[in-house]
Structure 1
């Protein structure tokens, strides 16, 4: 079978490797293939594989251009499935799948998930609980943003409608922070790899509570299967940086979350694929945070496989090819992960894990940065991560406790310039 992959994410390169191992052909389209060579240890071998064709196109973010390119690829070698692991390209994958007559999410459903203002507006007259919000379509002058913030009140959360990885998501507490935020965002025209930013901003009330996500899969015919819950520990206020997570079943609010998730996906018209939806557990019940029309990212697919025995990256591919996917529902073994970063800016000298590897439940310790690299302080977004740890346990508490304890045993050396 021939798979057309539209961009990816660093961890998702494992999916390309999986597909090649199974004998599939992969055409990978990217604005910057070299990005993945520097971000994934699997990319070099995958891209060099005889059945992997890498197409570099600076116009891959243009849906019209991408559809034209996809039809050329399809004419040369029929495509059997279209997919992406990239949040930025979910609408692109849905559009190309539609243009080729292949399985995929409806384009409207993909748009409703991809753009946060569409999520809010589509669900605003339903019984799905959301934060109070204002959609600012033209924030360039600052007047519309200031009016929106006055309507919501401080503290409030501001986020680009098409962002991801908590980039440019900020808790605002006063007018000074609003002015600084607008000045910073004005200089952001794109997110890299040719991904242009739309101007829309969402201003929301700040809802306090634990953040969790419901991982789900919408099967052929629209059947929604809720797979499990991922608790998501945040750090770094006023920014929102994900630091730790555990994939499991048995949350006290699981039934309520699963029922709400079905209403959300049906309301948004999401009719196909693996879906990641986030909820804030406020004092009076769950509140919808956001929806992502693709497989959950980061290390969560790895946690899924450890607990369920099912490779979620591979199941995304199988579903795109028209097959019924196996579902990674958590089992008796629970997996937990935690990212780490640098407390200060400096040059990385070394990261060591020798004191961790013999600990009970240890699965993996991985550094993303090599010695000699300049690293920033963990402060603004998930892009500040320098590595992660993964542990397992018999339940949520044991797995999360083990990975938390191991953070203290990372051997971390930086060279820091001291101001005189």
Structure 2
């Protein structure tokens, strides 16, 4: 089979590697293949594999251009499945697959998930709890919208991901600093232009969780499990840890709500990741992502399900097969990310003190020695690496991972101003 991947994400390179190992052909369309080589230890071997083709294009992310590229590719090497692990490219994958008549989420559903203002508008007057919000298309209108919603509030790009440019605003000064920053942001890299739309939302206090689900061919929603999230960096929203499990006390309420959300948005196919704030009056919808959850969560799902690989199941579903679903099992897995307190250059990362700890599963660095890094400060893009530990339950797995962070050796060269 020939699989077309519309961009990827760093951990998703494991999916390309798994597909190649099974004998599939893979074509990756990317504006910047070197991005993956810099952050994934699997990328170089995958990209040089004889059945992998990397098609670099700076213009492919115009839907019109992409559909021409895909049609030409299909003529010379028939495509059997189209997919992406990238939040930025879910609409592109849906459009390309639809143009070829292949299994995919509807483009309308993909757009409703991809653009946060569309999510909010589609769910107005449905009874689904959402924050009060204002949708802004021009920076000149932001101040008035913030005054309508009131402080404290949260401001975010409608097309963002990884908590990038998502900020809690508590005052006029916070707003002025935010506007000065976001005014200069025109793109997210890898050929992805930022749309001007912003959302201003009331701040809803509460724990953040997500429901991981899969919508089967025909529209049946299967909820897989709940992922809790450890947040840090206020007024920014950095994810620093999470656990995938199945016995959350609000599971049944969250599962029923999730089915309703996906149906109302027209999300009719594929793995999806939906975030909720557990507010004082019950779960409040935070955002919807029309793709497999990111970060280390697919690894946690594989561990606790006894080996079901979500990256591979996304591919199998795109090929028209019935996916095997990764439900949480008796062993629970938890991950923690870490970063640097200062900007500098990586000299070394040492994980040797973790090897003999109970439940230790994996430790991975995202930066090689000699790489320049930023301080962990504003978004998930500041991560340097992660740890994964297992346990008999959520508390044991999470506690082991949290304690192990103190044992990571991080050697950073810092340039001292003179």
| Fold agreement, TM-score > 0.5 | yes
With 297-306 and 407-416 compared, the bigger mean Cα shift is at 407-416
Structure 2 residue 40 is matched with structure 1 residue 40:
yes
> Where in structure 2 are the equivalents of 1:68-107 lying within 5 Å?
68-107=68-107
Please give the alpha-carbon distance, in whole angstroms, between the structure 2 residues aligned to 1:94 and 1:320: 10
> Where in structure 2 are the equivalents of 1:253-292 lying within 5 Å?
253-292=250-289
Q: For residue 176 of structure 2, give the secondary structure of its aligned residue in structure 1.
A: helix
Q: What is the CA-CA distance between 1:189 and the residue it aligns to?
A: 0.6
Q: Is the 8 A contact 2:39 2:367 kept in 1?
A: no
Structure 2 residue 348 is matched with structure 1 residue 350:
yes
Distance 1:101 1:413, change over 3 A: same
Please give the alpha-carbon distance, in whole angstroms, between the structure 1 residues aligned to 2:145 and 2:10: 36
Q: For residue 355 of structure 1, give the secondary structure of its aligned residue in structure 2.
A: helix
Alignment correspondent of 1:316:
314
> Where in structure 2 are the equivalents of 1:178-257 lying within 5 Å?
178-257=175-254
Q: What is the CA-CA distance between 1:37 and the residue it aligns to?
A: 1.2
Structure 2 residue 365 is matched with structure 1 residue 367:
yes
> Where in structure 2 are the equivalents of 1:396-415 lying within 5 Å?
396-415=394-413
Q: What is the CA-CA distance between 1:419 and the residue it aligns to?
A: 5.1
What is the root-mean-square deviation in Å for CA atoms of aligned residues?
1.0
Q: What is the CA-CA distance between 1:191 and the residue it aligns to?
A: 0.2
Alignment correspondent of 2:21:
21
Q: For residue 290 of structure 1, give the secondary structure of its aligned residue in structure 2.
A: strand
Q: For residue 353 of structure 2, give the secondary structure of its aligned residue in structure 1.
A: coil
Q: What is the CA-CA distance between 1:236 and the residue it aligns to?
A: 0.1
* 2:392 aligned residue (370, 391, 394): 394
**Number of corresponding residues:** 417
Please give the alpha-carbon distance, in whole angstroms, between the structure 1 residues aligned to 2:385 and 2:31: 25
Please give the alpha-carbon distance, in whole angstroms, between the structure 2 residues aligned to 1:347 and 1:40: 18
Structure 2 residue 287 is matched with structure 1 residue 294:
no
| Structure 2 residues without counterparts, runs of 5 or longer | none
Q: Is the 8 A contact 2:335 2:387 kept in 1?
A: yes
Q: What is the CA-CA distance between 1:149 and the residue it aligns to?
A: 0.3
Q: For residue 103 of structure 1, give the secondary structure of its aligned residue in structure 2.
A: coil
Please give the alpha-carbon distance, in whole angstroms, between the structure 2 residues aligned to 1:2 and 1:169: 38
Q: What is the CA-CA distance between 1:418 and the residue it aligns to?
A: 4.5
Q: What is the CA-CA distance between 1:181 and the residue it aligns to?
A: 0.7
Q: Is the 8 A contact 2:136 2:198 kept in 1?
A: yes
Distance 1:49 1:417, change over 3 A: closer
What's the TM-score once normalised by structure 1's chain length? 0.98
> For 1:97-131, what per-residue CA distance to the aligned partner results, in whole angstroms no more than 9, with x for missing partners?
11101100000000000000000000011011000
Q: What is the CA-CA distance between 1:347 and the residue it aligns to?
A: 2.8
What's the TM-score once normalised by structure 2's chain length? 0.98
| Structure 1 residues without counterparts, runs of 5 or longer | none
